[in-house]
């Protein structure tokens, strides 16, 4: 069992926060297949104050969507405090603080991964969050800013000192972005140095790679990010890949859940990218994908999904 503050989790696979992706329909579908803890995409503390439709949509949840993590991004005390106040009216079980995002727009403002360059500041901000949160606070970091400044162990100890209940660590530097090797060795060092749970992230694309992460780092749990795109089956016990019929059923459910959530017009275009992910690994899929990207209505998308049922996985015999 994994304990994060007062939260008890049976699963050691956690659905990662993914910006532009981790909405309620996505979380619910992954939960249906076995994901336990899931996250809302990162929310900037400044934008929380605008009280926009977009942020309240990001934070909307229901009773199946539990346990739920919310992740905030920011670097200014006043905005953070205001955000924590606003968050009081929302339901969630864990609050994560982002010190991992590598996007220029974010790091240029001193947020996300740029906090790795100032571990003391990160500790101060985390203390503030811990003191003002009614749920356990976690932090997400990377192994360092670049390969010449790998300082995850130091940052992690500061985070633990600030009262974080668990640490998420993406085994890449900020400069690496989302490509290149994952440094299992640094994650292992961090795990050895901390008393709180360490949850590892990076290239968890298959059951084998999840095993590798556990074996090589000794981590307490892993975060599944790109490995879950179009692949909620990642979270079920059986590990064989589903055939087209089963994938089509999940796509229909996901599409309808998006329609309920966003309304038909927006939902179909939001679903385009998911069609691309669900159909990965199927033979001669390009033409059908193009058709999916052109679909504007539920009916058009459903027709494409029906046609998809006839497709075979790469390596599967025809007929
Ligand atoms: C499209 C996309 C959006 C992401 N958005 C977030 C985010 O909002 N917050 C966060 O902490 N990490 C975010 N990440 C990082 C992932 O949570 C994860 O740490 C990273 O992708 C490494 O795992 P992977 O190699 O298994 O994908 C995002 C990753 C991707 C690909």
Question: What is the Å distance from ligand 1's center to 289 Cα?
Answer: 24
User: What one-character-per-residue DSSP string does 61-125 give?
Assistant: --TTS-SEEEEEE---HHHHHHHHHHHTTS--SEEEEEE----HHHHTTT-GGGGGG-HHHHHHH
Same fold, 2-235 and 244-308: no
User: Which residue, 90, 95, 97, is CA-closest to 62?
Assistant: 90
**Relative orientation angle of helices 207-217 and 184-193, to the nearest 10 degrees:** 50
Confidence (pLDDT) at 101: 98
Confidence (pLDDT) at 53: 86
Mutating to test ligand 1, I would choose from 13, 15, 16, 174 the residue with most ligand atoms within 8 A of its C-beta, which is 16
* Cα–Cα dist 251/269, whole Å: 14
3-class secondary structure, 3: strand
- Closest ligand 1 atom to residue 224 Cα is 26
Q: Which CATH architecture has domain 244-308?
A: Orthogonal Bundle (1.10)
Residue 183 burial (CB < 10 Å; 0-12/13-18/19+)?
buried
Kindly report the length of the chain: 319
Question: What is the Å distance from ligand 1's center to 84 Cα?
Answer: 23
Contact 174, 116 (CB under 8 A): yes
Average pLDDT, 10 consecutive residues per value, the chain (319 residues) = 96 97 98 98 93 90 98 98 96 98 97 98 98 98 98 98 98 98 98 98 96 98 98 88 96 98 95 98 97 97 98 78
> By alpha-carbon position, which residue is closest to atom 15 of ligand 1?
18
Q: What is the pTM of this model?
A: 0.96
Residue-range domain boundaries for the chain: 2-235, 244-308
Which residue reads 């996985």 in tokens? 313
* Cα–Cα dist 255/304, whole Å: 12
Residue 302 bears catalytic tag: no
Enumerate residues lining ligand 1, CB below 6 A: 16-19, 21, 41-42, 71, 98, 100, 140, 170, 178, 201-204, 223, 225-227
Q: What angle do CA 226, 299, 235 make, to 5 degrees?
A: 25
User: Which residue, 132, 50, 65, is CA-closest to 97?
Assistant: 132
First-to-last alpha carbon distance for the chain, in angstroms, is 45
Mutating to test ligand 1, I would choose from 70, 172, 178 the residue with most ligand atoms within 8 A of its C-beta, which is 178
What's the longest Cα–Cα distance across the chain? 63
- Closest ligand 1 atom to residue 42 Cα is 8
Confidence (pLDDT) at 52: 82
> By alpha-carbon position, which residue is closest to atom 30 of ligand 1?
18
| 2-235 to CATH, choices 3.30.390.50, 3.30.70.100, 3.20.20.70, 1.10.10.10 | 3.20.20.70
Confidence (pLDDT) at 316: 73
């Amino acid at each position: 069992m994994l304990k994060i503050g007062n939260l008890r989790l049976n699963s050691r696979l956690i659905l990662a926060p993914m910006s532009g992706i981790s909405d309620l329909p996505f979380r619910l579908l992954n939960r249906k297949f076995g994901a336990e803890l899931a996250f809302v995409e990162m929310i900037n503390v400044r934008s929380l104050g605008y009280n926009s439709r977009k942020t309240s949509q990001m934070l909307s949840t229901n009773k199946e969507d539990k346990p739920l993590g919310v992740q905030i991004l920011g670097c200014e005390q006043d905005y953070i405090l205001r955000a924590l106040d606003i968050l009081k009216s929302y339901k969630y079980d864990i609050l994560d603080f982002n010190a991992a995002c590598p996007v220029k727009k974010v790091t240029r403002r001193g947020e996300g991964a740029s906090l790795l360059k100032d571990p003391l500041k990160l500790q101060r901000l985390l203390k503030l969050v811990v003191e003002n949160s009614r749920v356990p606070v976690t932090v997400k970091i990377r192994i360092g800013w670049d390969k010449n400044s790998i300082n995850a162990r130091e940052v992690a100890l500061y985070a633990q000192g600030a009262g974080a209940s668990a640490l998420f660590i993406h085994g890449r530097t900020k400069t690496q972005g989302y490509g290149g090797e994952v440094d299992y060795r640094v994650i292992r060092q961090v795990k050895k140095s901390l008393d709180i749970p360490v949850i590892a992230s990076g290239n968890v694309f298959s059951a084998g790679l999840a095993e590798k992460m556990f074996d090589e780092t000794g981590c307490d749990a892993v975060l599944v990010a790109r490995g879950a795109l179009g692949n909620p089956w990642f979270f079920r016990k059986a590990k064989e890949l589903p055939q087209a019929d089963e994938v089509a059923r999940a796509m229909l459910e996901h599409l309808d859940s998006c329609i309920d959530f966003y309304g038909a017009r927006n939902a179909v275009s939001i679903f385009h990218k998911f069609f691309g992910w669900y159909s990965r690994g199927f033979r001669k899929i390009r033409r059908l994908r193009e058709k999916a990207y052109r679909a504007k209505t539920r009916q058009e998308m459903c027709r494409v999904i029906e046609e998809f049922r006839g497709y075979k996985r790469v390596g599967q015999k025809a007929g």
